[in-house]
Amino acid sequence: MLTLQMSRDGRAGPAGLAHFSKEGVMKKFELRVSEDPIEFTAENASAFLDVWKSQSKWAFPDDHSFIRTAALSACDWSGKPIRFDNIDHFTADMMEAGMLAEVGDAQG
């Protein structure tokens, strides 16, 4: 399992000590878009998009293009509809499809 830590500026990096924000405790999530789930720590589940992009071999000119292609792939993998009109819908549908899950808080 690959473990990444999201910084406050939205960049993914190797996991280290959990960082705490003014907004609250960082949470652990698991992104299941390959054989090996990607565990990451972030303030909220919508950070999965930056994690996925950081691991992707795809190159896209903008976020919308990436989101559209990622949603199409997720739909193919899960067999469920995945909306990509905004990050909140995309995140909710990824969680509903079982491809994104909160697995705990960064403290344990």
Residue 7, pLDDT above cutoff 60: no
With a pLDDT cut of 90, the percent of the chain lying above it is 58
Distance CA 75, CA 99 (A): 10
pTM: 0.74
Q: In whole angstroms, how large is the CA radius of gyration of the chain?
A: 13
Q: What is the pLDDT of residues 21-50, one digit of tens each?
A: 445 679 999 999 988 999 999 999 999 999
Mean pLDDT taken over the chain? 82
Residue for token pair 């997720």 = 74
CA distance to 33, 49, 51, 76, per residue, from 60 (Å): 18, 13, 15, 20
C-alpha 67: how far from its chain's center?
Answer: 11
Q: Are 53 and 10 in contact (CB under 8 A)?
A: no
Query: Higher confidence at residue 58 or residue 96?
Result: 96
Residue 97, pLDDT above cutoff 60: yes
Residue 2, pLDDT above cutoff 80: no
